[in-house]
Structures are given as structure tokens and as C-alpha cells.
Amino acid sequence: MSSASAMRALVVEDEWPARNYLVELLQSSKLAEVVGAVGGLDEATQALAQDPPGVRIDVAFVDVRLEGSRAGETGLSLVRSLAGAVGAPMFVLATAYDDHALEAFDLGVVDYLLKPFSEERVTQCLHRLQLRRFGNAIATGPARIVARRKRSLVFLELQEIWAFEAADRLTCVHTTHGTFDIDLSLAAVEGSFGRAFVRVHRNWLVNTCHIKEFDRDGHETKLFVGEGVANAGRGVHVPVARERAAGLREMLLTNATGLRRP
């Protein structure tokens, strides 16, 4: 994922080994860029209040029981003070205690990470955050994509787009209306619409809302993206890079129900 579309994260954790490890997991995922790591509520409040242009915080990972907090205040106090506020980041509680989960989700916390953290669980959390961000993509990003059809310009809504494909130094967009050329590279598309589309292969960005099938055959993974299902529908078959297959599958299952999982 390009740095333009990676989530900007603040880590609030008073135990430095846990803080450093979570920062390492977030950075290595390539899905998030840690723009701050602090040990207390005052520092976190200041970091969120400053929120300077270009360093806007998308998500804050907050420990519940912070040593040295003001009397009676916890990490949840920070969430309570900002929950629902305009411009507030998404929140994830990252803690050793599970007794605050109900209140956390009532406040709109997106996820609840229990210590000790694991790479797999942190990655799952980041995919869940990506899906939450997608819900705001149309409101916060450019409204439409403009493509070319011979001498005409075609204006496309995000929900009409299935996928972007790069091939032979050209980029095309696959849509409900057909396939058209655009002047943007995939990296530029990610920079403008990265919240709405997921990179599944070096040559493909797909709209997760239009993924209809995830097919793993041996060492090869493919998606069917479009309307209907595979042979009964209209769409495109998209290859998935081997290193992205597991994370993509987990992201899709996180936002769906109906499958028995271990």
C-alpha cells in the first residue's frame, strides 16, 4: 500500500516494550504509518488536538489502564471525550484486560486488541479499519473518476467501478458500463481513492464491495469482481498475489457472516 493511502496511527501505551512492539507490528504491515507513540493521556490529548495538516491521525490505539493518568481517568476517558466528535479518529483499545469491551463498543470503538499482540491479529484489525474507512470514502475523497471513450469523457461514480488494471503502461477501469482508459497510474488512484479500493496484485486495484467470489486453487488465488456470480454474472477475473491472499481473505471474512471459522 502506498504511503498516501496508509492509515496514520497514534499509539497510546505507557509500557514501552508493548508500545514499541505494537509500533513495529503496525509499521511492518504497510497498512499503517505510525505518526506518534506516547505514554500518557496528556500527551495523547495534545497530539490529537494539534492534528496538523498532512499528519492527520486516522486511528488511535489506546491502552485502557495508563499509569500516571489523572485521578479516575483511563484510556476510555480519552475515547469518551472524543467519540462522535467531528474529525475524531477511529479508536482501537489495545489492552491486557477484556472487562471494558462492552462499554468500548458502545462508544463506537472499532476493535479491541488483547495483549500479547500478534502479527495476525493486528493485521486483521487493520483490515477492519480499512473497511470502516471505506464507508467515508465518497464523502472525503474526489467524487468521481473521469475516463476516456474514444473522443468522449466518461464520468464514473465510485460504486460503478469494479476494478482498475495496469497493463502495457496503460491503466484501464472496469465498470458496470464497460472498460475505459484513464490517465492515472495505479499509484495515483490509490493516492486519491485508496480508502475505497484494495491492492490485490501489483497490476490490480479492486472495489471490495463488488468482490463476489474468492477462489483458491492450489497455489493460485483469483477473485471474481462484478455483478452476479462468475459464469452467471458480468465482471472480471482478477489474480491475487500470493503474499496478499491470506490477508485479503481475512479482510473479507471480517465483514461477513455465514461461514463457520476455527
Q: How confident is the model at residue 81 (pLDDT cuts 50, 70, 90)?
A: confident
Kindly tell me if the per-residue pLDDT of 253 is higher than 50: yes
Of the three residues 101, 134, 167, the one that is the final residue of a domain is 134
Kindly tell me if the per-residue pLDDT of 221 is higher than 90: yes
Q: How far apart are the first and last CA of the chain?
A: 29
Residues 89 and 163 in one domain: no
Of the three residues 81, 108, 134, the one that is the final residue of a domain is 134
- Number of structural domains (the chain) is 2
Instruction: Report the distance separating Cα 5 and Cα 135, nearest Å.
Output: 15
Q: What is the pTM of this model?
A: 0.52
Residues 128 and 148 in one domain: no
pLDDT of residue 137: 46
53 three-class SS:
coil
Residue 185's φ and ψ, nearest 5 degrees, are -80, 165
Kindly tell me if the per-residue pLDDT of 139 is higher than 90: no
Residue 22's φ and ψ, nearest 5 degrees, are -65, -40
33: CATH: 3.40.50.2300
Residues 40 and 14 in one domain: yes
